Structure 1
């Protein structure tokens, strides 16, 4: 049987972390590649390194610093993951979401997910921000679902309905905030598809993913969203389009991680303002 997290161990980590901070956050934010600057907006911060947490997985990817940042953002108690975990790093799928379960143990009821993604929809451009209205769990439907293995009912149900994974009220609120910030022209709403990585897509693969109905593609987020919903958390997701996938051979160009990080930095201020105002108005 596939190994999974221990409820008792997750709870013990949550208790340990709450002992390191005076803050009692209800909102969690996971920072995607190049988007760690969101953590710089946290006031009265308490920082805990992943390496200081017993049996906690460690981020190994450039742009993911491996820190939990507790504090306040626009007057709300928050905790940010400055660095997420990926399946391609060699972790079992369930282990990439241990931090999400720990956030729940710390009292988080709403999880905001951000990521850097490749654009598949030809109407999109680099620098667009996509509200995730739905996802396609490509690893999951091919046998690597994050909930595979034994199920502890204290976490959530054996069989999870995922048709309502992403919160519609938060999507509506975000659109309204984007309008007030003058960001409506770059806002999109679409479907995110997860691939295992770490390779970027071939032209043929990009065409396939687009034919599946995906508007953007990345290597994260979906397992976190599923686990958060498994534990009854409210979920909202944003993808920053940092590159456009090649759908034609005669205009194909290679994507690099450095380009992704650079695009993230370029749009970082807008995304930070969007997320912080969303937190303020929740």
Structure 2
């Protein structure tokens, strides 16, 4: 798998060979700092979900993103600026988890390639699967704090992780078996759409999205998922309902924070179920 993944990385970055060298250097730094040759699962935490990493596993090792040459630093509120390596014991093995405590976004002025750098680094550490999380606006009559298993996505960002003739079949990005595991705990499942942001969608756009089968909308996750899938990583994830688009009263900031915080135990259970499915 290592050889095929390396070939896939070289294929998607063939126009930016310097990026390949940066990925390799970042992988080496993670291995040296954590003293873990490989990692098994990547977890990316969305807005307000930083506390998910608390008590997630044992033997945590933190590494500031600023030490990874090529990595950009999140500036959005509610996003951490480090990666954390932790270990979780299963009956089969000790599972090494690489946790990104925050992420960057297109609306911060970053390129699609920037967004996908850390996920690509994680892929080259040997991960089998990625568990992606976000907080999004809900287009359905659900409740704040509901957790939705992402079964598919629609890309309204106008962006791709790739530059040039990098042709990838993305009809099945979201792993059905891992999504089924998440659905044992998540109260909802559905389709997530990404917009570039930073502005939110208009009422007409929201109605159009809902009428076309979209359940949640946000400004992240999709490009990461595509980049990881291209490298042979099994992708799954959840979206936490942090805003009700069609509510008669606007959602306050305190309600958003409370909704995301209330969802953390469910998000953790979804992750544990994914790990138990893998190992």
Match of 1:233 in 2: 233
**DSSP 3-state at the match of 2:84:** strand
Whole-angstrom distance in 1 between the partners of 2:250 and 2:202:
9
Match of 1:98 in 2: 117
* RMSD value, Cα: 2.0
Whole-angstrom distance in 1 between the partners of 2:139 and 2:99:
28
Q: Once the two structures are superposed, what CA deviation does each residue of 1:160-201 show, in whole Å capped at 9, x if it has no partner?
A: 11111001111222234x2xxxxxxx6111100001111222
Matches within 5 A, 1:75-224: 75-122=94-141, 124-140=142-158, 144-147=159-162, 149-150=163-164, 158-176=166-184, 178=185, 187-224=187-224
1:256 Cα deviation after fit = 5.8
Match of 1:13 in 2: 26
Q: Which moved more, 1:204-213 or 1:236-245?
A: 204-213
Contact 1:50-1:68 at 8 Å conserved across structures: yes
| Structure 1: stretches of 5+ with no match in the other structure | 152-157, 179-185
Whole-angstrom distance in 2 between the partners of 1:36 and 1:208:
32
Number of matched pairs: 258
In the superposition, the TM-score normalised over structure 2's length comes to 0.86
In the superposition, the TM-score normalised over structure 1's length comes to 0.85
**DSSP 3-state at the match of 1:115:** strand
Contact 1:119-1:243 at 8 Å conserved across structures: yes
Whole-angstrom distance in 2 between the partners of 1:261 and 1:96:
24
Q: Once the two structures are superposed, what CA deviation does each residue of 1:54-82 show, in whole Å capped at 9, x if it has no partner?
A: 23100101111111100212442111000
Match of 2:84 in 1: 69
Match of 2:6 in 1: none
| Structure 2: stretches of 5+ with no match in the other structure | 1-14
Contact 1:160-1:230 at 8 Å conserved across structures: yes
1:254 Cα deviation after fit = 3.8
Whole-angstrom distance in 2 between the partners of 1:246 and 1:205:
12
